[in-house]
Amino acid sequence: MLKIGGMFCLEKNPPPSGAASSPEGRTLTDKPEGGDRRFCMSGRCAIYYCLLDLMPGDTKRTAYLPAYTCETVVAPYKKAGYRLLFYDVSPENLIPRFDQKVIPDISVLGLCGYYGFSFYDRDFVARCVKSGVTVIQDITHSVFSAGGIETMADYNAGSFRKWMGIASGGIAVKRKGKFGLPLLPAEEEHLRGRLACFAERERVVNRSGGASEERVETLFWETEMRLRSMFDAYASDSPSEEIIGNFPYEDIIRKRRNNYAAILAASPFSAGVKPVFPVLDEGVCPSHMSLYSPDRDAAQEFLARRGIGSTFYWPFHGEAGLDDFPGTRYICDHIYSVPIDQRYTNRDMDLICKALRELGEVQGA
């Protein structure tokens, strides 16, 4: 069993605490003033729901998306029949490389921050808005960072599942006006798969006989691959909505920032281990500590042998030629992330730093 890393267990529904507020100073269960909010079964369901709302008035149906993104983000646009154009992303601070010349050709700008950090050009976003381009922001990584929810966007959509153990994590926000379509009821087989995965993870954490991380992975991917083939505008389930409404977000923001800051202060970095974001700005809530190493696969194996799980977000989605996006190619070849979330202590961060120093000695040689 990995000492650090792995899936969350299902959250125990916390009592109402008054702390379930976003960096905007409003609770996440509130609708934006003059707008609408719906909870969905997953992030891809939420993005698709926003597209269904937009499509009746969008005759051009051409989207401009980051080349460095998850298949989860691309899939709703494909399902909705959008033509896809992509922009590259710089390895330094994961800054989008927008092309001004595409603005007349697109009807949607897909926008996001990465791992809690948002460095996109807001002047470009404003020019898109002025030109009548609809902005859909994926807030999966930035939802708890100050400024991480773009108010110029027409829609904010994403998932809470990188932040907590929850069966249905999708959220869809329309900033002006109401959604025109009802959501479909939550899909019960998907929920059963998610809950079975959480139950097995709980058994692993409790060292129950016969439980295994391999079984957790199997259950997760069986459920995930089924979702990829059958997703639609599905609603969340009531227990998940209760968790979202009552979760102590201020606490997890504080813990994640403290853990990230502890690694930065220890500075276990080298030519073989480089932080993607070397500065933790005020108000940023990081999802992970993301790193570059010359040989990512070997780096992940090295850390795993020392009891530290890591994750590669994301394999290239394959919807364009990767040679046309050199920044994205570098990112996809070298990036990986270690956990700094609310489950972990200062001692855990010390163990991560020790392993990263040892890794640097190997890969920086």
pTM given for the model: 0.93
Alpha helices in 145-210 (DSSP H): 188-205
Beta-carbon contacts of residue 341 (< 8 Å; ≥ 6 apart): 163, 252, 255, 256, 259, 287, 288
**Ranges of H-type helices in the chain:** 43-54, 71-79, 122-130, 188-205, 213-230, 238-246, 249-266, 296-305, 326-334, 346-363
Contacts of 297 (CB under 8 A, 6+ apart): none
Listed as ranges, residues in the chain with pLDDT below 50 are 1, 18-20, 25-27
pLDDT, one tens digit per residue, over 47-80 is 999 999 999 999 999 999 999 999 999 999 999 9
What is the residue-averaged pLDDT of the chain? 92
The per-residue pLDDT for 273 is 97
Domain 249-363, CATH class in plain words: alpha beta
Give the integer Cα–Cα distance in Å for 338 and 21: 26
- DSSP 8-state assignment for residue 246: H
- pLDDT attached to residue 67: 97
Architecture of domain 36-174: 3-Layer(aba) Sandwich (3.40)
Beta-carbon contacts of 33 under 8 Å, excluding residues fewer than 6 positions away, are none
Q: Report yes or no: 29 and 20 within 8 Å, Cβ to Cβ.
A: yes
